[in-house]
């Protein structure tokens, strides 16, 4: 159990969430918590896990569960890692450096966002477990190439290209708040001219929406992936796949892994809940490459369900930010360890000793049906 300066025992992800909300300004809180438009997909991501029912096996001789997993030659203590999220210094002065320390303590993967507020190199120096770098496709390809090269030089293990943002989802909360990246927080890995719009508050509306409209390349298509592939020797992971069709195309275009994700409900409102897309995508991939998952995972049993449906690893977006806000590196480690302990606990009670023992027989068939979304 983690106990931070608040004195309140933090037993679950929602304990960290409550603690974080007290410490973070309301516009930053809305940026973190919010989703696109009416937030129906955001809500559906969580609801999908509420529908899952597990099938425990008894007298299985499983006194403890092994949560270790390996990906691209790196071993992790847990299959629960950190999804890329922008600007960690919005909630903690040390930002991604503290996140990396926390991930290291938990033995977890940390996917550093392209819009990290600490340098790729400083984050690498603080890390003791695997790091990957996430990229968006910018009109300025030279900036992408530079980041890919710096990541490779600094020991990052993969490039994760986010493919679900040809344009940014409309986020009413940020638009109403006139949200802009302020103070001394900045995407320090990218030259300031590319990022200028993200800081301009004077026009009202979401500065991030204006920034992404100007700097992201919306014309990207499958054929362009070859260019990025040529920039780096690192494995290329595509994040934001929700259909069998796109999963098959990703495999055909040589993706080394894919992430089933609807961007935490922040892109197409009305899109399928992430969990409800997982079986379809895993079936289409058919073992051709690892499938990762994010969206709505808040407890170990949620991770168990996603792993049973075919995910090799499960990533958390908002919860590590809650941990970081509530308690810096300790909070990040606390969130990851809590979820991992819950997963191990659920595995023992479900009679599964190790991650490869998790398959769809761990879930009631109604959990696989695709639900309401």
Distance CA 368, CA 312 (A): 17
Mask for 309-338, x = binds ligand COI (CB under 6 A): ------------------------------
Show contacts with ligand COI in window 163-202 (CB under 6 A). 168
**Residue 266 is a binding residue for ligand COI (CB under 6 A):** yes
Q: Does 113 bind ligand FMN (CB under 6 A)?
A: yes
86 binds ligand COI (CB under 6 A): yes
Residue 323 Cα to chain centre, angstroms: 14
Rg (CA), the chain: 19
Question: In whole angstroms, how close is the CB of 184 to ligand COI at the nearest point?
Answer: 17
CA distance 159 to 51: 33
Q: Which stretch binds ligand FMN (CB under 6 A): 54-62, 139-147, 257-265, 363-371?
A: 257-265
Q: Are the C-beta atoms of 326 and 16 separated by less than 8 Å?
A: yes
263 carries an active-site annotation: yes
- Residues from 262 through 321 that contact ligand FMN (CB under 6 A): 263-264, 266, 294-297, 316-318
The answer to whether 293 and 68 are in contact (CB under 8 A) is no
Of 102-141, which residues contact ligand COI (CB under 6 A)?
115
**E-assigned strand segments in the chain:** 2-3, 9-10, 69-71, 74-76, 80-82, 110-112, 131-135, 159-162, 236-241, 257-260, 291-294, 313-316
**Interactions with ligand FMN, residue window 133-162 (CB under 6 A):** 134, 162
Q: Is 180 exposed, middle or buried (0-12, 13-18, 19+ CB in 10 A)?
A: buried
261 binds, among ligand FMN, ligand COI, none (CB under 5 to 8 A by kind): ligand FMN
Contact status: 163 vs ligand FMN (CB under 6 A): no
Q: Residues in the site for ligand FMN, rule: CB under 6 A?
A: 31-32, 45, 83-86, 113, 115, 134, 162, 239, 261, 263-264, 266, 294-297, 316-318
């Amino acid at each position: 159990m983690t106990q931070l300066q608040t004195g309140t025992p933090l037993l679950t992800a929602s304990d960290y969430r409550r603690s974080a909300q007290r410490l973070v300004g309301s516009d930053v809180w809305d940026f973190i918590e919010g989703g696109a438009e009416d937030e129906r997909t955001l809500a559906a991501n969580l609801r999908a896990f509420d529908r899952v029912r597990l099938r425990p096996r008894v007298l299985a001789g499983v006194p403890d569960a092994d949560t270790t997993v390996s990906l691209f030659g790196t071993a992790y203590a847990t299959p629960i890692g950190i999804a890329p999220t922008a600007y960690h210094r919005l909630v903690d002065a040390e930002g991604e450096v503290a996140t990396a320390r926390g991930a290291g303590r938990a033995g977890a993967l940390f996917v550093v966002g392209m819009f990290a507020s600490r340098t790729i190199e400083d984050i690498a120096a603080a890390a003791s477990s695997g790091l990957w770098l996430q990229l968006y496709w910018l009109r300025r390809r030279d900036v992408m190439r530079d980041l890919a090269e710096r990541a490779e030089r600094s020991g990052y293990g993969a490039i994760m290209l986010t493919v679900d943002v040809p344009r940014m989802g409309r986020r009413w909360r940020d638009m109403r708040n006139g949200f802009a990246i302020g103070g001394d927080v900045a995407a320090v890995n990218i030259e300031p001219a590319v990022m200028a719009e993200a800081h301009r508050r004077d026009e009202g509306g979401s500065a991030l929406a204006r920034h992404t409209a100007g700097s992201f390349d919306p014309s990207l298509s499958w054929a362009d992936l070859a260019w990025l592939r040529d920039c780096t020797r690192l494995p290329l992971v595509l994040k934001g796949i929700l259909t069998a069709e796109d999963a098959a195309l990703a495999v055909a275009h040589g993706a080394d892994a894919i992430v089933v994700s609807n961007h935490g409900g922040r892109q197409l409102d009305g899109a399928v809940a992430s969990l409800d897309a997982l079986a379809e995508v895993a079936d289409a991939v058919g073992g051709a490459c690892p499938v990762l998952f994010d969206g709505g995972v808040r407890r170990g049993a949620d991770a168990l369900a996603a792993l049973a449906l075919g995910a090799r690893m499960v990533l958390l977006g908002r919860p590590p930010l809650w941990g970081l806000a509530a308690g810096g590196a300790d909070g990040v480690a606390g969130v990851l360890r809590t979820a991992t302990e819950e997963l191990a606990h659920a595995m023992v009670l479900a009679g599964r000793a190790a991650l490869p023992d998790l398959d769809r027989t761990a879930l009631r068939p109604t959990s696989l049906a695709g639900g309401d979304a």
